[in-house]
Amino acid sequence: MTSNLFSLDGKVALVTGGSRGIGKMIAKGFLEAGCRKVYITARKAAACDATAAELGPNCVSIPVDISTVEGCHLLVKRYLEHEDRLDILLNNAGAAWGAPFEEYPESGWDKVVDLNLKSPFFLTQALHETLKKSGTHERPSKVINITSIDGIRLNPQETYAYHASKAGLIYLTRRMAARLIEDNIVMSSIAPGAFASDMNRVARDQGDEVARRIPSRRIGTDEDMQGVAIYLASRAGDYVVGETIAVDGGVALAQLGV
């Protein structure tokens, strides 16, 4: 019974920002949990292709820049050349920009907000019919947004657009979930804390120091992220609608900065 609860046997997933970091962790976890195919997308074709080759024949690379609505529609077009339905969409692609308040540029604001907040909405919108084909009352299709604990509590760094976009995505998850459940599509979100990645270079390069400021006394592992993503994507998470799960070792709860 338990193994069936967390099984993704036969499912098809699409992971944005899947060439590295959290997206790559989750793509690998989905494959190991039984997905028939996991499609990954990223802006850099070489990196996307290399990750797909590393993860094996059931991982397919579709490199596209989804920071624009046109890019979202192009990704959907290319995805539909392979499949006619979708069981799991993971909106993970994201960007960050840090600068002092007095110098924070419009270009950085637009880059971060467009990719972190606008793209998950318009990509999900473009895949709406495809997700509906897979969902039933008994087994809904899933959309999982990767938010951040920086949308829950303040990070001491001056990443204004990142904070705003992730807080916005947490609430957008709730608003969209309330609508999409009508179509047997369950939306939820994961708010990661410190995981080693190119985006979180402090955790990657100074993991021991960061760990000292985390109640759990360690940074997150691949398994920590894979576990919660598989839970939400599988039968086990079918009744979790519109919620955000912090995966951070207790940082947001303790209101500590990392």
CATH class given for the domain over 2-248: alpha beta
Catalytic choice (162, 171, 231, 239): 162
**DSSP3 helix / strand / coil % (the chain, rounded to 5):** 50, 15, 35
Over the stretch 122-156, which tens digit does the pLDDT of each residue have? 999 999 999 999 999 999 999 999 999 999 998 88
pLDDT above 60 (res 232) = yes
> Among 105, 97, 123, which Cα is nearest to 17's?
123
What confidence score (pLDDT) does residue 258 get? 39
List pLDDT tens digits, range 37-61: 999 999 999 999 999 999 999 999 9
Structural contact between residues 248 and 228, judged by C-beta atoms closer than 8 angstroms: no
H/E segment holding residue 176: helix 160-180
Helix (H) or strand (E) holding 21: helix 21-32
Short-list 192, 256, 186, 252, CA closest to 228: 192
DSSP state for residue 220 in the 8-state scheme: B
Which element (helix H / strand E) includes 69? helix 69-79
Is 162 assigned a catalytic role? yes
Contact between residue 147 and residue 96 where contact means Cβ atoms under 8 Å apart:
no
Q: How far apart are CA 56 and CA 60, in angstroms?
A: 8
Q: Where are the domains of the chain?
A: 2-248
Taking only the tens place, the pLDDT of each residue in 72-120 is 999 999 999 999 999 999 999 999 999 999 999 999 999 999 999 999 9
Q: Name residue 156's amino acid.
A: P
What's the rounded Cα separation, in Å, for the pair 210 and 200? 11
Of the candidates 153, 185, 193, 189, the residue with the CA atom closest to the CA atom of residue 173 = 189
pLDDT-derived band of residue 252, with 50, 70 and 90 as boundaries? Answer: confident
Q: What is the pLDDT of residue 198?
A: 63
Residue 207 confidence (pLDDT):
53
pLDDT at 34 > cutoff 90: yes
Q: What is the mean predicted confidence (pLDDT) over 13-40?
A: 97
Adjacent-strand bridge partners of 195: 220
pLDDT at site 211: 73
Task: Identify the weakest region by mean pLDDT among 10-14, 33-37, 215-219.
Answer: 215-219
Whether 27 contacts 144, CB under 8 Å: no
Predicted confidence (pLDDT) at residue 210 exceeds the cutoff of 70 = no
Q: Which residue has the higher pLDDT, 24 or 155?
A: 24
Summary mean pLDDT of the chain = 92
Q: How far is CA 148 from the centre of its chain?
A: 10
